[in-house]
Structure 1
């Protein structure tokens, strides 16, 4: 046992010296000016920080490439990676800025679609945070549409279409939420106006069948029987097998009415123009 202890104490100083040398080397390396690194080396440092889940530090390194080697291929790569790093770090404004600069500088690049995707996501990923302010959702829809139309064959187009539909339905759902509130409070005109927005501006969304039913309900509450019948008629034609159509028929029948599409009001006109393609 004593032999082991003596051996242990004998090698301890060497271990301490080795550790101190190692620490000294780390400090020494960290003191090397960033200007001493090549563009590729700085890019690798950015990737290394991303792999260590340090997106803020990664974004800084990628930004240094653009500062030190602005016309290099690595600066081009670094800019889109900076946008990605900022997004991963939930810094959406800076992510948007980097992505937009990439698109402006390199519109024909093979990574331009990816930069547009990051730009769209920087808005889309904030939708749940905005509460009643829908400006972010509208921007997400705008940027997603640009991606779908400008880069239809990119590998990001399918995901963009899915997210577009979800954001589109989210906006429609918000309109429905406000409309139902007005309806519950007896503010029928305000409620009808909200439901009309859903039917006109969000055609094809998952909210449309209910919006048509709520129009039947709202118009009946206002004593506008012809409009209620017309709303029920459009609902029957477009969503005849839905529960909302069944509820509409029942509600109209309680008032001695039935669905009718013969009335020449705004809803019947919209149905002919937008659904059937009949403009006269």
Structure 2
């Protein structure tokens, strides 16, 4: 009984948020045109617009469905489509609101893996909107906060839904993120080294070696550590680091012990597709 009350309260909150999203953040989206139409009709219109890539109209339809029929059999599928519509419409923040509420309302949904996947992709893309996606972008040159969030989201997806059709791409993105975050930390280490802050450079390089082993960035991290120790006159530490570098990064050893994911290109990773969820 208590769980039903909680779910109903969550649904009421979801309605209020949906109305707020439409009125404040939806780029002129209005749900008035769907007032009085049946839940089935509104849902079918939303699906029709989505298939035609009319994301603005699809958003309006699915938001109207939330507002008018929050407890209908179309709600779960409607919100799955709504999160995708917001994503494609270039409103990643609004898509995340829908995703997070969806996972609260339907934690055991058979399509929860899709929600986690779209969430991870949005975080992976660093919350860039539709215009920013067309600008040059290199993940390793940007703050890694959202990328770490994406890694954790994909990790949760793979852990909870190992047989999901999204798991393979999630793993590929996790490898890409790991390499990119390691490269980002190395770039910070180099920044410190270039400014003669050798202790700070060593600390960042150690972070890569300890937390991002088997990434291509480890090679550069060891090199920065070696040069920093030399600059500080710490001969023994420098010699030890040099031995580690030679053992691990002479060509035969490097090929044998290190797996590079450089063949994974960010632009080659697939985008989320419209989900084909059935109303039960």
TM-score norm. by structure 1 comes to: 0.70
Which of 218, 222, 235 aligns to 2:228? It is 218
Structure 2 counterpart of 1:71? 71
Question: 1:160-216 CA distances to partner (integer Å, 9 max, x unpaired)?
Answer: 111111112111111111211222232211211111111112222221122112211
Q: 2-side partners of 1:86 and 1:159: how far apart?
A: 21
Q: 2-side partners of 1:208 and 1:129: how far apart?
A: 19
Q: 1-side partners of 2:230 and 2:254: how far apart?
A: 16
Shift of 1:231: 2.0
Q: 2-side partners of 1:183 and 1:228: how far apart?
A: 15
**Mapped contact 1:189–1:218 kept (Cα < 8 A):** yes
Q: 2-side partners of 1:238 and 1:78: how far apart?
A: 53
How many residue pairs align between the two structures? 215
Q: 1-side partners of 2:224 and 2:193: how far apart?
A: 9
Q: 2-side partners of 1:152 and 1:222: how far apart?
A: 48
Of the two, which has the highest radius of gyration? 1
RMSD: 2.5
Structure 1 counterpart of 2:25? none
Structure 1 counterpart of 2:43? 43
Which of 177, 181, 196 aligns to 1:186? It is 196
Question: 1:203-252 CA distances to partner (integer Å, 9 max, x unpaired)?
Answer: 2222112211221121111111222222233333433427999xxxxxxx
Shift of 1:62: 1.1
TM-score norm. by structure 2 comes to: 0.70
Structure 2 counterpart of 1:93? 93
Alignment of 1:67-216 (within 5 A): 67-126=67-126, 128=137, 132-216=142-226
Q: 2-side partners of 1:71 and 1:201: how far apart?
A: 46
**Mapped contact 1:120–1:143 kept (Cα < 8 A):** yes
Q: 2-side partners of 1:34 and 1:213: how far apart?
A: 63
Higher helix fraction (1 or 2): 1
**Mapped contact 1:169–1:205 kept (Cα < 8 A):** yes
Question: 1:124-178 CA distances to partner (integer Å, 9 max, x unpaired)?
Answer: 1127498643322221122122112121110111111111111121111111112
